Structure 1
Amino acid sequence: MTRPAEDFLSVLNTRSQEIFRTLVERYLDTGVPVGSRDLSRLLQVELSPASVRNVMADLEDLGLIAAPHTSAGRAPTQQGLRFFVDSMLEVGAVDEDERGRIARQMEHTAGRGQVEDMLTEASSLLSGLSHGAGVVIATKADMVLRHIEFVRLDNSRAMAIMVGEDGQVENRILELPPGYAASSLQQAGNYLSNYIVGRTLAEAKKLLNERRDEQRAELDELTQKLVDAGIATLSTPASGNAPTVIVRGRANLINDTMASDELARMRQLFDELESKDGLLDLLGDAERGQGVRIFIGSENKLFSLSGSSVILSPYKDANDRIVGVLGVIGPTRLNYARIVPVVDYTANVISAMIARKRAAR
């Protein structure tokens, strides 16, 4: 079990923290385990390799660093990386060039495509900026409706046909009240059209509830029942509403130098992403935590086998509701200080563009 950062801060003095920080930063920069001789040259204070070795031995006893393979150098463990990220990571702002690149590419896509096109571009963009895999996990967006009508199937059932502004069509079957006439069916459809067209079902339902008294005065009892039944049925999530997952840059995580077991674990990760196993849990984690979340190695069950690190940030719709997460999958040796603000900034850009597209309708 990972120990909280406070435990380590209470037992590490300033010199030990500085040696640990320098070792981790060097390892993240080079990917090579760091030896005491190299570390003593990198430190801002003068310490002999022997003194550094003594501190490194203490850090190893605490489980913060370890010797991979038979190397003389040391690398941070998963617990060490978590301690570094939680207590020592200094995250700056996205530099001006990267902000410009993100804004230009997203503006270009937003001007010619749907929200899913923007999300695909964001995934590709994050892959290019991080040299890892860019990932977007999105809930099924609420459809903004262009048309709705009811078609009678038999004496007890009707089909509601909804057409979205993007051309998407969704059908639902609902039960009819006894003694329902065709004219009442058309009246209910016409009445709902006044509220639904140009809105999502959630927005229409909220508006209808606000105008409940006015609605009762306009509709007869049977039509009122169908309107209520229709909204209740249409507002229930349809089957198959699994999250959408977009991954770009897989090749960045798979290379010829990998051992066969590493390749197998990475391919299994991509298979699990495609099958959408665990994605709802990941969306829930993002919603509960708000802001950027960093999962290292086995901290999230979806990525535990691959031994990857994942940096994710939620993005929101026009109603400030979290509708997905985007981020970067990479080795645990990610440049966290650079990638965390890039992911956060990209999520904010996506949120702003979704709100802008919604306002323009």
Structure 2
Amino acid sequence: MGFPGSVPLILLLSACCVLAAAQLPLVINTWPYHDAVQRAWDTLQSGGSALDAVEKGCSQCEVDQCRGTVGYGGNPDEHGETTLDAMIMNGNTIEVGGVGQIRRIKSAISVARAVMEHSSHSLLVGESASIFAQNMGFLSEDLTTNKSLSMHAEWLSKKCQPNFWKNVFPDAATSCGPYQPVKGIRSKKRGMPAELINVHSHDTIGMIVIDESGSIAAGTSTNGLTHKIPGRVGDSPIAGAGAYADSTVGAAAATGVGDIMMRFLPSYQAVEYMRMGTEPATACQKAITRIQMYYPQFFGALICANRTGGYGAACSKSPGLDQFHFMVYNPLTALEQVVNCI
């Protein structure tokens, strides 16, 4: 089944409703990444597993450089380098593979799967993750593009503004580093620099796939925050934060400000709400609301699906995010859907 016409229908749903009757198989992903959901669906239709579909779907976004926030050539760090985070989770075995701040390797989601299938570890990071990938046969290549170089040059020309430092000297609000810690001074900033947190800079792909047999997999891929401090790893490759899958219950995947969201493990929390019988949309909302108790206007969203194919989504209303768009593909639906944020 393909999308009707060249542009998919968009269905607007209230933030509080159960979005659909259960249908399997199911592919759902964050943001309107049409080609990614189509690639995942086609993988299932050709006999691929739920894990295969997640890998191929997220990989499509990496190749397409979805909105510049997934894959190579986007969101450079303070040194001008693009690094990638990704994870994949097998809901049948609760195995996880993740990579954080991986360098020079374009296929982050595939490396994450290699971590899961060819090591006893759950997460590899930095240069060591890149070496692991090369040993697994992945090609080492430059992730920098003219676009990412231009973004970095413009940021430097503005005295490295905005950035993610606090309680340092020289004043990070007016100058570049290197910085040193300032003792006895506490920043009044509770969240993240507003200039860096918007709907165009956090379009991580999170994907959930349930095949006809009920096997569930979930995954994520992103190039992280623009102008992040080198070494930073966000929520995307962290099990329970970026995504979580349990084939006896369901799965969830997140997108948004990882440094805040990873403190609450929202994907795990949403799955646990579904384990207690909560419908997917409500489970997403409850996980979002839990974070809002501490960060009322944080930037973030969740997609949730239960083991029978019911699904839902929720988002936190914040500057630049009043509605959240996501993709759904099942035997009856091939739609870009929208929920109002809470």
TM-score by length of 1: 0.24
TM-score by length of 2: 0.25
More helix by share: 1
Bigger Rg, which one:
1
More strand by share: 2
